[in-house]
Amino acid sequence: MKTPTARTAAALLVLALAGTVTGVPARGQAPVQAVVAISNLPPRLLGVSLAVAAQIGQLINDSLTAVDAQGNVTGRLAARYPVSPDGKTYLVTLRDARFQDGTPVTAQDVKFTYELYLHPKYPTTPPALLEIAGAQEYKAAKAPHVSGITVVNPKTIRFILNRPYPFFYEQIGTVAILPAHALAGVDVGRLQEAPFTRQPIGAGPYKLIDWRERESITFEAFRGYWGGAPALPRLVLKAIPDDATVAAELRAGNIDAGRLIPEGYRTFQRDPQVTVLRVPGDTYYWFTPNFRLAIFQDVRVRQAMAYAVNRPEMLRALYQGLGTVAQSPIHPSLWQYDKNVRGYAYDPAKAKQLLAEAGWAPGPDGILQKGGQRFAVKYGFLAGRDYQNQALLIQQYLRAVGIDVQVLAVEFGDFFSRYYTPASNFDLAGLAWFNLLIPVQAELDNNFRSSGIGARTIGYNNSEMDKLLDEAILTRDRARQQTVYAEIQQLIIQDAPRVMTVRPDVLWGIRKRFIVPGDIGSLSAFFKSLPRWKER
């Protein structure tokens, strides 16, 4: 039986659909493509500080130099890059490379790019670029050009620094080089509105050919890539926010790769169609006290919190043991990482003893007291499964040594506006950091140097730390640098500006259709490996 409304509705539907038909899939010569699920697409690719934008940027763009998996410098667009004996002059000779629109990469493009990143109105200038002579004046709009960057000839460019800086090629050389002609005339103050930020042209292995909001970004192999066209002709990054949906799509073969939760990792190990990839995580978690509170200025209290937290248990309970206890803020794959660094073992007795030494004694309700003040603190964390579960375990661990913790989930926007306020609403903040997106020295400067944003936020200030961080910059001998970094890591443990908890492994499921390179050691490396995927 067909009722009148059903018929009307059906007719309406057909009309509506017919009206929207604009294309039918091209059949036949469809190139091999890999569909990789990511949580969300970034709003744009330039002038934004988001991990996903950086990962996509690595596919599209190339830089003068790059840092390999161990943290060593390799040449990319730079064929030769000698340093003057005083460590202040860098002469870069470009190799024959082309942008995706066919134009060659020239020294003029390089100069243009650095001046763009240093432009007074560019929103996310990497701090290391300010080491270039004249950069600060240019950034302050007091000079028409950066005096320390000179085009010698179309293939050669010279950088002069203010002081000897050993990380030129790790930090300054690694920014994406952009085509000057494509950005000529763009108002940097309104850069975010420029079409280029979503239709980029780079000198990297993949060309972005299609961007569909909340749907997918499609890339095509750039045949003219100086390093040879990628083995994988086409790549689609598909936005799927829900983990459960990702798992279902991967199981059904509707996507080729997707992130897994630890429980999913165990079940996908038994799936004959799927390879599971497990590599050390780029992300580590920690919680940090607000140093503006008198309670936390006593190092013994901070150390006590570190002793009180059972980190191996957290790892087992929350990640099925798939990960490592975080001992250092430096990613373990890098040469700066000190293999001998040992954090705090789980020792609640030691924690109680330290708290007692700091003058805290158990009150009638079992909560520590000192001069009539109860040790009751608020622990704020970003709303989300990982942060929340960790917060609840940390609450339990701290309660066991007599610290009363109230946990508080806060939405993303709210979290940072509160966390970055000096008069923060919470006393402890649960956070995470993505390693490998910026160079190690920049990470450490940000988080631990008194003038760094991260340290300023929590009110952390340690002159000994500042001195060591300076020393790392001023030393040019690798072995000596290694020692300095080891000392920095020891000091971070000993001074406990933060309690580092866990570094969960990165877990991915990949359909067996693809052969994946065997050298993936991090999430960043996973994205970097995509051009080398081959269909089986």
Partner 1 sequence: MAGYLVRRFIALVPLVFGITAITFALLVLAPGDPVEFLIPPEQRGSADMAQFRHELGLDRPLPVQYVSMMADLFTGRLRSFSDRRPTMRQVEEALPTTLILTLTSLALTGALALPIAFLSATRPYSVIDHAATLFSLLGISLPTFWFGLVLIFVFTEQLGLLPASGIRPTGVSGYSPFVIWRFLIMPTVVQALGILPVLVRYTRSSLLDSLSQDYVKVARSKGLAERTVLLKHVARNSLLPVVTITALLLPFLLSGSVIVESIFALPGLGRLAVGAALSRDYPTVLTTTAIAGMLVVVSNLLADLGYLYLDPRIRHG
Partner 2 sequence: MTERAAPVGRRRGPWQRFVRNPRAIAGAGIMVFFLLVAAGGQRLAPYPPSAPHVLDILHAPDGRYLLGTDDLGRDILSRVVVASRVSLAIGVLSMLVSIVAGVLVGTLAGYAGGAVDDVLMRVTDVVLAIPVFFLTVAFLALFGPSVGRLIWIIGLTAWPPAARLVRAEMLGLRSRDFVTAVRATGASNGRIIIRHLLPNVVPVIVISATLRVGLAILTEAGLSFLGLGVQPPQPSWGNIIADGREYLGVAWWVSLFPGACVFLAVMAFNLVGDGLRDAFDPRLQI
Residue 406 φ then ψ, to 5°: -105, 125
Q: Which member of 20, 29, 340, 463 binds partner 1 (CB under 8 A)?
A: 20
Answer yes or no whether residue 450 interacts with partner 1 by CB under 8 A: no
Sequential DSSP letters for 94-163: E-S-B-TTSPBP-HHHHHHHHHHHTSTT-TT--GGGGGBTTHHHHHTT--SS-TTEEEEETTEEEEEBSS
Query: For partner 2, which is the closer residue by CB, 203 or 315?
Result: 315
Between residue 306 and residue 325, which ones bind partner 1 under the rule CB under 8 A? Answer: none
Q: What share of the chain is helix, strand, coil (3-state, %, to 5)?
A: 35, 20, 40
Q: Which member of 72, 84, 396, 425 binds partner 2 (CB under 8 A)?
A: 396
Contact segment (CB under 8 A) with partner 2 among 86-94, 173-181, 280-288, 410-418 equals 410-418
Among partner 2, partner 1, none, what does residue 23 contact (CB within 5–8 Å per kind)?
partner 1
Q: Which member of 353, 369, 388, 529 binds partner 2 (CB under 8 A)?
A: 388
Q: How many CB atoms lie within 10 A of CB 88?
A: 18
Query: For partner 2, which is the closer residue by CB, 40 or 124?
Result: 40
Between residue 262 and residue 281, which ones bind partner 2 under the rule CB under 8 A? Answer: 263-264, 266-267
Answer yes or no whether residue 317 interacts with partner 2 by CB under 8 A: yes
Q: Which member of 84, 96, 143, 253 binds partner 1 (CB under 8 A)?
A: 253
Answer yes or no whether residue 191 interacts with partner 2 by CB under 8 A: no
Query: For partner 1, which is the closer residue by CB, 216 or 390?
Result: 216
Residue with tokens 């609840």: 392
Sequential DSSP letters for 6-74: HHHHHHHHHHHHHHH----PPPSSPPPEEEEEES---S-SSS---HHHHHHHHHH--BSEEE-TTS-EE
Helix (H) or strand (E) holding 280: none
CA dihedral 389, 393, 395, 401 (to 10 degrees): -170
The answer to whether residues 290 and 425 touch, using CB atoms and an 8 Å cutoff, is no
Query: For partner 1, which is the closer residue by CB, 194 or 201?
Result: 194
Between residue 366 and residue 425, which ones bind partner 1 under the rule CB under 8 A? Answer: 411-414, 416-417, 420
CA–CA distances in Å: residue 447 to residues 440, 444, 492, 522: 11, 5, 11, 21
Q: Which member of 244, 294, 345, 361 binds partner 2 (CB under 8 A)?
A: 244
Contact segment (CB under 8 A) with partner 1 among 29-37, 86-94, 402-410, 493-501 equals 29-37
| Interatomic CA distance for residues 536 and 525, integer angstroms | 21
216 contact partners, CB below 8 Å, separation of at least 6: 35, 41, 210, 236, 237, 238, 239
Answer yes or no whether residue 520 interacts with partner 2 by CB under 8 A: no
Answer yes or no whether residue 193 interacts with partner 1 by CB under 8 A: yes
What are the residues binding partner 2 (CB under 8 A)? Answer: 242-244, 247, 261, 263-264, 266-267, 313-314, 316-318, 383, 385, 388-389, 391-393, 396, 407, 409-411, 414
What are the residues binding partner 1 (CB under 8 A)? Answer: 1, 3-6, 9-10, 12-14, 16-17, 20-26, 30, 33, 35, 37, 40, 43-44, 49, 123-124, 189, 192-193, 198, 210, 212-216, 218, 236, 238-242, 244-249, 251-255, 411-414, 416-417, 420, 453, 457
